[in-house]
Chain A
Amino acid sequence: MAKQSERYQNRIELLQGTLDMLILQSLQWGAQHGYGIAQTIRLKSSELLQVETGSLYPALHRLERQGWVTSEWKLTESRQRAKYYQITPLGREQLASDRARWESMVRAIASILENPQPEGGPA
């Protein structure tokens, strides 16, 4: 039991930060339930990114505890009950800073990858 839960936690660890950012980003366009968020991320990434349910809900509850999202039970378009998450102003700030950090990291990594020849290194 302990080993299995560790496996889940390792995945969370891997996606930590990025997953939080992706969830917050997908809530930018309005309140959404957990399943919807997973679908949004899947579709927007052209089905490249699959969010595991075992990572999604701990992340949502963590975000809620941080005060970055709030939740409420609502009916979906197909008249089903579902818990909808909504981003808070604090969440938006967090998203902005996450994004800035992400972009600078992407730039840093990209500049390394685009300059394969280090300065003064052997040819």
Chain B
Amino acid sequence: MSSEKRMPRWAWQRRKEDLSDELEAHLRLAVADRVARGENPEAARVAALKEMGNVPLIADVTRRQWGWEWAEHLWQDLRYALRQLRKSPGYTVTALLTLTLAIGANTAIFGLMYSLLLRSLPVYRPDQLVQIKLRIGPAQSTHEPNAMVSGGIYDALVANQRVFSGMCSWAAWPLDLHDSDGTRRIPTARATGGCFEMLGVHPALGRLFSAVDDQPGGAPEGYPLVLGYDYWRTRFGADPHVLGRVLNFHSGFGGKETTGVIIGVMEPGFESINVGDRPWIYAPSEIGDKDDRHGLQSSDQTLLARLKDGVAPVTAQAQIDPLFGAKVKAEKYQYWTVSNGSFQRTSEAHLVVVPARTGFSFLREYYTKPLYLIGGMVGLSLLVACAYLATLAATRALARRRELALRIALGASRIRVIRQLCCESLLLALTGSLLGVFFAWISERALLRFITEPGSDPPALGTAPDGAVMLFTVGLLVVTVLLAGVGPAWRASRVDPVSDIKEGESSVLSRRGSRPGALLIPIQIGFSLTIVVIAALMASTVARLLAVDPGFRTSGVTFFHADFSPRSTDYKIPAPLILALLDRIRQFPGVESASISQAHHLQPAFYLQEAMSKTLSGETRKDDMLPSLSVTPQYFATLGIPIINGRDFTVGDKAGAPKVCILSRSAAEYFFPGQNALGATLQLQDGDKYKPTWVIGVVGDTLYSGFRDHARRILYQSYLSGDTWNSGGDVSVRATTTTAAVDAVRGAFHDLAPDVALDRPETMADLVSHSIGRERLLAVLSSFFGVLTLGLTAIGLYGLLSYAVVRRRPEIGVRMALGASPASVVRMILRDAVLLVLPGILLGAAGAWASTRLLGNLLFGVKPLDPAICAASVLLLAVAVALACVLPARRAASVQPMDALRRE
């Protein structure tokens, strides 16, 4: 046995062989010694062996000196567990699938929650950051302060404050970049010069701009621009010579044609102070319109600051609020505020300083509650999965009672047996976690798609594997092993070697055995019922939202937002350009109608108009907040809104022509009750006076901002008459296919207005699904987990009942021999089931009651504890339970008394 010829092996194996070589050498030396002393070789060998003792045992004891005994045992346990798992592939696959789904879903949801709600901004000392918000009205009002403030507030504070070591005003507003194939809107962060220094972020290449770079007009060669790391890699191929390149663009809303020069690339990891935002370019704040940047009126900035050491947010607020108050007073500025349903002006406003370790995100407002709900739900699912696995593990261990008893009788310690049993669940949980992490990675993308705004990229959330998320997954793993492994193993290891070996299988049948999972089943049923009720409520909400008639058609329309800033003067877009574009779009094949409007249906934002009328009875009717849409001819045809009376706008309704408007039916009925609104006069506020406007048409009522909206009074004005307040225009096209619409609009703009930036298309279907995105997200996930947990619970119950039938076979046999009918045996089994299910339903009712409190305003058209929904959920549960009972009950009823008794 020459070791030189042996293949290279594991060091451990080599060492083991080395030891056995050594002991063999010892034996050879001893034999040789005895032979040299004149003994017969045969006798010498026997004597030497006898003197040496038990060689494998010596090797064992010696190996123990190496201090690796535990690893050796672990390896043995793992191999043993693998063998056990291979022996029951059905169990292994179910368990793995369950764990993958449960751990994966938990990881995905936690990843999303973590990156949206919990993660610190990736900047220097994020704990020192605060956000400055604006509260319009009295300081002690309980209204949530506005997160968006105006650039004028930054100006008021930056020079005179003494509480911050730095300040940063940040606005996300795109630049319209001109390049070889037209003009594109580039997501841009407009940051004040001191932002990057204050945040403590660094360039990956070149430099970042600083306070001196943030000047009106920029440097001679253009405004300094910093590229986002991903944008640099994807659009510039990570070109290191990108520095100094000049870009031509229009700075958007109220801005101008200008140039910028690339001075650096942002470090990877940092995107924005707005969590989920991923700007492609960082530009200095002065790049935009002067009034917009320095005035008090436009609230488009997020204002962050870094507290000086030892300054509390309250102290900072007390110092900066007077500075702001002085500015408002000096400029005699008045904020609009809505109180009791009408607009009022007030000069009272206050700044609020709040901690901003995690930055700021609009998404939080909408998704915090759903995410916590979903998080709780998938957490419950994991517990149900653990309970299910624990029940299975316990049943398996009971079936192996005899084997375990034999092991203990042969000298295995109880700890060792527990360790062996736990190894199985550890192996399962470990594999399940790995698969789960992969599943999470896939499902996170799907989740992000639910919360993506139409026409934009998914939010930059939770895409990178993160230490905290991994830690969470490991935590789940530990919990799983503890719940599904250690507990059952502990109980299973309590065997009495003598009686268990003697009785063998029959000990499984004896009545004294504990019933694994008898406690867990009610909990599983409770959790499942809770999730099923949530699922039913959310599904019914989605169904009811989709059943709402919005008053316009929800298919076939595609919207494009175009920024006409380069062509507009004073926010007015020339009518000839509009008409030419619409004409060209309509010529494309597949296009049925096209229109341009300012704002459109299914958008969260409104333009509001104050309007007044005199009714026949002489009463004055006023609406301070009448949603107003400016539209070109064909808007109603495109959206599919019926014209009830009168006519659509025409190209003749232009600037200089008599002012005309169209009203929704409710608006017509409100302003002109009991009369024909056509030809009537509506007074529209224009500055300080009212302008008479003739009503030329009445259209059907529609929703506006979403499906939870009610039919509103809406005012439509003629886009061509120049009643616009914004250089942006929304092109809407009804076409046979989305592709036809996209080709038509892209083609028309490419030919007639290549300098106008077009946003990506948003289809009506996208807008509809986004407007019910939260509800759909909850409905889909809760249905999925409802089915999963219900399935696991039913399988668990089935297993438990089947086991009970096997266990009670002799008893059933005796009962039947004494005259019990199969029906009464079935009743007995069902009574067992009901005893498990009833407490579960009570628990589920409590869970549903508590969790539906949280659903609150997410519901639509159903009450949190809708009787029909609750009844249906319980019914569904009952069906699942009944299915789980059928087979065991039948098996019990078919017990042959003689058979059962003979086995006893």
Residues B33 and A5 in contact, CB atoms below 8 Å apart: no
Report the minimum CB–CB distance from B22 to chain A (whole Å).
Answer: 5
Residues A82 and B57 in contact, CB atoms below 8 Å apart: no
Does B318 make an interface contact (CB < 8 A)? no
Residues A57 and B54 in contact, CB atoms below 8 Å apart: no
A33, B22: Cα distance in complex, Å: 9
Residues A53 and B22 in contact, CB atoms below 8 Å apart: no
Residues A33 and B29 in contact, CB atoms below 8 Å apart: yes
Residues B65 and A61 in contact, CB atoms below 8 Å apart: yes
Residues A34 and B22 in contact, CB atoms below 8 Å apart: yes
Residues A4 and B54 in contact, CB atoms below 8 Å apart: yes
Best-surrounded residue of B53, B62, B413 (most CB of chain A within 10 A): B62
> How many A residues touch the partner, as a band?
20 to 34
Report the minimum CB–CB distance from A91 to chain B (whole Å).
Answer: 16
Which chain B residues in 147-186 approach chain A with CB under 8 Å? none
B58 to A, closest residue via Cβ: A54
Chain B residues near A44: list those with CB within 8 A.
none
Residues A80 and B61 in contact, CB atoms below 8 Å apart: no
Residues A61 and B57 in contact, CB atoms below 8 Å apart: no
A116, B54: Cα distance in complex, Å: 44
Chain B residues near A33: list those with CB within 8 A.
25-26, 29
Q: How many residues of B contact A (CB 8 A)?
A: 30
Given contacts A54-B58, A65-B66, contact A3 B411 (CB under 8 A): yes
Which chain A residues in 72-90 approach chain B with CB under 8 Å? 76, 78, 80-83
Residues B32 and A80 in contact, CB atoms below 8 Å apart: yes
Chain A residues near B90: list those with CB within 8 A.
none
Chain B residues near A1: list those with CB within 8 A.
410-411
A8, B64: Cα distance in complex, Å: 12
Report the minimum CB–CB distance from A11 to chain B (whole Å).
Answer: 10
Chain B residues near A80: list those with CB within 8 A.
25, 28-29, 32
Number of A-B contacts defined by CB within 8 Å? 78
Does A103 make an interface contact (CB < 8 A)? no
Which chain A residues in 1-57 approach chain B with CB under 8 Å? 1-5, 8-9, 12, 33-36, 39, 52-54, 57
Does B23 make an interface contact (CB < 8 A)? yes
Chain B residues near A58: list those with CB within 8 A.
58, 61-62, 64-65
Residues B29 and A5 in contact, CB atoms below 8 Å apart: no
Residues A65 and B29 in contact, CB atoms below 8 Å apart: no
Which chain B residues in 1-53 approach chain A with CB under 8 Å? 18-19, 21-23, 25-26, 28-30, 32-33, 51-53
Does A62 make an interface contact (CB < 8 A)? yes
Does B549 make an interface contact (CB < 8 A)? no
B55 to A, closest residue via Cβ: A53
Which chain B residues in 57-84 approach chain A with CB under 8 Å? 57-67
A50 to B, closest residue via Cβ: B51
Chain B residues near A8: list those with CB within 8 A.
57-58, 61
Partner of B32 from the list A52, A65, A78, A83 (CB cut-off 8 Å) is: A78
Chain A residues near B60: list those with CB within 8 A.
5
Residues B411 and A53 in contact, CB atoms below 8 Å apart: no
Chain A residues near B54: list those with CB within 8 A.
4, 54
A12, B30: Cα distance in complex, Å: 22
Residues A82 and B25 in contact, CB atoms below 8 Å apart: yes
Residues A81 and B53 in contact, CB atoms below 8 Å apart: no
Chain B residues near A53: list those with CB within 8 A.
23, 26, 51-53, 58
A4 to B, closest residue via Cβ: B57
A52, B26: Cα distance in complex, Å: 12
Chain B residues near A9: list those with CB within 8 A.
61
Chain B residues near A52: list those with CB within 8 A.
53
Report the minimum CB–CB distance from B60 to chain A (whole Å).
Answer: 7
A76, B66: Cα distance in complex, Å: 26
Which chain B residues in 80-127 approach chain A with CB under 8 Å? none
Given contacts A34-B22, A35-B30, A80-B25, contact A54 B61 (CB under 8 A): yes
A34, B62: Cα distance in complex, Å: 13
A10, B29: Cα distance in complex, Å: 27
B410 to A, closest residue via Cβ: A1
Best-surrounded residue of B25, B30, B60, B64 (most CB of chain A within 10 A): B25
**Using an 8 Å CB-CB cutoff, how does the interface string of A81-123 with B read, 1 for contact, 0 for none?**
1110000000000000000000000000000000000000000
A64, B664: Cα distance in complex, Å: 95
Which chain B residues in 402-419 approach chain A with CB under 8 Å? 410-411, 413
Residues B25 and A83 in contact, CB atoms below 8 Å apart: yes
A57, B63: Cα distance in complex, Å: 9
Chain A residues near B28: list those with CB within 8 A.
80
Residues B58 and A65 in contact, CB atoms below 8 Å apart: no
A78, B410: Cα distance in complex, Å: 44
Chain A residues near B67: list those with CB within 8 A.
65
Residues A83 and B22 in contact, CB atoms below 8 Å apart: yes
Chain A residues near B61: list those with CB within 8 A.
5, 8-9, 12, 54, 57-58
Given contacts A5-B57, A54-B53, A54-B58, contact A81 B65 (CB under 8 A): no
Report the minimum CB–CB distance from B45 to chain A (whole Å).
Answer: 14
Given contacts A1-B410, A3-B411, A80-B32, contact A61 B66 (CB under 8 A): yes
Chain A residues near B33: list those with CB within 8 A.
35, 39
Chain B residues near A54: list those with CB within 8 A.
53-54, 57-58, 61
Residues B29 and A82 in contact, CB atoms below 8 Å apart: yes
Chain A residues near B63: list those with CB within 8 A.
61
Best-surrounded residue of A33, A52, A81 (most CB of chain B within 10 A): A81
Residues A2 and B29 in contact, CB atoms below 8 Å apart: no
Partner of B26 from the list A3, A4, A35 (CB cut-off 8 Å) is: A35
Best-surrounded residue of B51, B54, B58, B63 (most CB of chain A within 10 A): B58
A53, B293: Cα distance in complex, Å: 90
A76, B26: Cα distance in complex, Å: 12
Report the minimum CB–CB distance from A74 to chain B (whole Å).
Answer: 11
Residues A65 and B57 in contact, CB atoms below 8 Å apart: no
A1, B416: Cα distance in complex, Å: 14
Chain A residues near B29: list those with CB within 8 A.
33, 35-36, 76, 80, 82
Chain B residues near A5: list those with CB within 8 A.
57, 60-61
A78, B23: Cα distance in complex, Å: 17
Report the minimum CB–CB distance from A100 to chain B (whole Å).
Answer: 25
Report the minimum CB–CB distance from A69 to chain B (whole Å).
Answer: 12
B1 to A, closest residue via Cβ: A81
Chain B residues near A81: list those with CB within 8 A.
21, 25
Which chain B residues in 229-278 approach chain A with CB under 8 Å? none
Best-surrounded residue of B29, B33, B54, B413 (most CB of chain A within 10 A): B29
Chain A residues near B25: list those with CB within 8 A.
33, 35, 80-83
Chain A residues near B411: list those with CB within 8 A.
1-3
A71 to B, closest residue via Cβ: B22
**Using an 8 Å CB-CB cutoff, how does the interface string of B336-358 with A read, 1 for contact, 0 for none?**
00000000000000000000000
Chain B residues near A3: list those with CB within 8 A.
411
Report the minimum CB–CB distance from A58 to chain B (whole Å).
Answer: 5
A4, B58: Cα distance in complex, Å: 11
B413 to A, closest residue via Cβ: A2
B2 to A, closest residue via Cβ: A81
Chain B residues near A82: list those with CB within 8 A.
22, 25-26, 29
A62 to B, closest residue via Cβ: B65
Report the minimum CB–CB distance from A85 to chain B (whole Å).
Answer: 10
A1, B57: Cα distance in complex, Å: 9
A34 to B, closest residue via Cβ: B26
A35, B25: Cα distance in complex, Å: 9
Beyond the given pairs A1-B411, A34-B26, 16 more chain A to chain B contacts, judged by CB atoms under 8 angstroms and listed by A's residue number, are A2-B413, A8-B57, A8-B58, A33-B25, A33-B26, A39-B33, A52-B53, A57-B22, A58-B58, A61-B62, A61-B66, A65-B66, A65-B67, A78-B32, A80-B25, A82-B25
**Residues in chain A within 8 A of chain B (CB atoms):** 1-5, 8-9, 12, 33-36, 39, 52-54, 57-58, 60-62, 65, 76, 78, 80-83
A-B pairs with beta carbons under 8 Å apart, 12 shown = A9-B61, A35-B29, A53-B26, A54-B61, A57-B26, A57-B58, A58-B64, A61-B19, A61-B63, A81-B21, A82-B26, A83-B22
Which 7 pairs from chain A and chain B are nearest by CB?
Answer: A2-B411, A35-B29, A61-B65, A57-B62, A62-B65, A82-B25, A83-B22
**Residues in chain B within 8 A of chain A (CB atoms):** 18-19, 21-23, 25-26, 28-30, 32-33, 51-54, 57-67, 410-411, 413
